[in-house]
Amino acid sequence: MLRLNAYQNYSDNDYKVKTQWTDLTTNAVSEEEGWFRRFHDRYHNEAVMLQTGLVGKSWADHLIFGLQYSHERADIQNANLMKIVFGGKFRKNRAWAPSLMYDKYNLFTRGLHLRLSARYDDVLTNNVDTVSRTYSWTGQWRQNSYQGEGVATLAEFYGRTFTGVANLDYRIADHHFFTLNDTYTNYHRHTTNNAANAAQQTAATFMRRVNIKNILGLSYQFVPVDAWNMEVFGKHYDTRVQGPVNTATSASRAVYEEQTQGSHVFGYGAATTWFLLHRDMQLKASYEHTYRLPTDLEFFGDGDYEEGDAALKPESSNNINLSDKSLTWVTGLPDLSKLSTGWGDGYDGSYYLPVAAGTSFAGGSGSTGGGNKGGWTRAASSFTPTIYRIDANTAVATPFMTFTSADLLKSIMILK
């Protein structure tokens, strides 16, 4: 197989905001607020993605190699405080991202599904502030004798991230479902150009910035009857962070040290789902003790106005959820337990769902606290790939478009 995709996102915002503004004659900031239109808020990004690989082999259902190139540029209209406005400051980056995906259903034994994926992101980010002007929210500006609207910079840094994911699903009969998942990420960032950052340099500028984390999860779902299921799960979070930490005892002067810290925490939870009134109503209940790990941006900042803190710790929470939902069941679809469904899209009161032959996970969605997970089976190749239109009012599905190719229909998007 060979697949090539490309896209562009573009926006040029000029909506109004209410904020204080600067009088360029007196350099004083107004006490009252006024309405002003944004005038330096253009954004665009582009990407090209190439995929090639093998499908439907005895040793692999999918083996896909990918390569993506992307570019992004964003004007920076204001600082963290809305009243501080810019007219020439911007950020840009470019990124290369090779990837690999492998999956195999019924591996060694029926009901065992293995999925592996890996991706490496190489991102070069450039913060640019060289305009010799001071702007006001009125759009007017004053010429300065120095460079930079904030702190003059051509700051440039590399961020390199490896992400690996392994997922193993196993079904025993129709009642027991096990899932083992491991997600590993390794992020390194370093500043590339001493001269470009001269105006912003501190002792922390060229210190190493590393964020390594591994999340290992195990879940078990029990489905004694079709109308009720329960699930228990646990996660182990393992992190190691290396970066600059401000050890100063006073706020007047920052003192940075490169420090390394790690954390090992365990999360867990349980969920259950009932279907009542002939499956026309769904009740859900769940409890989870979970953790949120700080992001790379929170640890290390953006190299500009947002300052990171490499000493941050994981945040914990205890969540209890109770919900009920009325369900409307769709009629007119084929038996999806032996087919593959892709990502659909909605338009004008209808939802369009792609359905094709191929390997599929029979028996339901398998969402947390959701329905029957089912098992992985090979569908009959004689099924004609079809897009079904589902009426939102009647919940009746009818064939909308068919295809002669036997390839999987993975997703559709409707241009509106």
- Please give the Cα distance from 240 to 251 (Å, whole number): 27
Whether the CB-CB separation of 271 and 228 falls below 8 Å is answered with no
| pLDDT score for 208 | 85
Residue 222 to residue 234: CA distance in whole angstroms: 15
**Paired residues of 256 in beta bridges:** 246
C-alpha Rg value of the chain to the nearest Å: 27
Count the neighbouring beta carbons within 10 Å of the beta carbon of residue 241: 25
- Exposure of 246 by Cβ count < 10 A (0-12 exposed, 13-18 middle, 19+ buried)? middle
**Residues lower than pLDDT 50 in the chain:** 195, 360-380
pLDDT in tens, 117-156: 999 999 999 999 999 999 999 999 999 998 889 888 888 8
Q: Which of 378, 383, 386 is nearest to 402 (CA)?
A: 386
Residue 290: HSE in the Cβ half-sphere, 13 Å Cα cutoff: 12
Query: Tokens 């969920």 — which residue?
Result: 271
Local structure of residue 30 (DSSP, 8 states): P
Contact 357, 382 (CB under 8 A): yes
Beta bridge partners, 6, equal: 48
Using CA atoms, how far apart are residues 376 and 93, in angstroms rounded to an integer? 41
pLDDT of residue 328: 78
pLDDT at residue 371, as a whole number: 41
Count how many Cα atoms sit within 13 Å of the Cα of residue 61 in the half-sphere of its side chain: 21
- 209 in Cβ contact with 256 (< 8 Å): no
- pLDDT for residue 252: 73
Tell if the pTM clears 0.75, that is, is over it. yes
What are the residues facing 56 on neighbouring strands?
A: none
DSSP output for 197-230 = GGGG--TTTTS-EEEEEEEEEEEEEEEEETTEEE
> Using an 8 Å Cβ cutoff, are 282 and 325 in contact?
yes
> What pLDDT, on a 0 to 100 scale, did the predictor assign at position 302?
81
How far apart CA 393 and CA 349 sit, in angstroms, is 8
Question: What pLDDT, on the 0 to 100 scale, is given for residue 93?
Answer: 95
The distance of Cα 30 from the centroid of its chain, to the nearest Å, equals: 40
Cα gap 132→136, rounded to integer Å: 14
Which amino acid type is present at position 185?
T
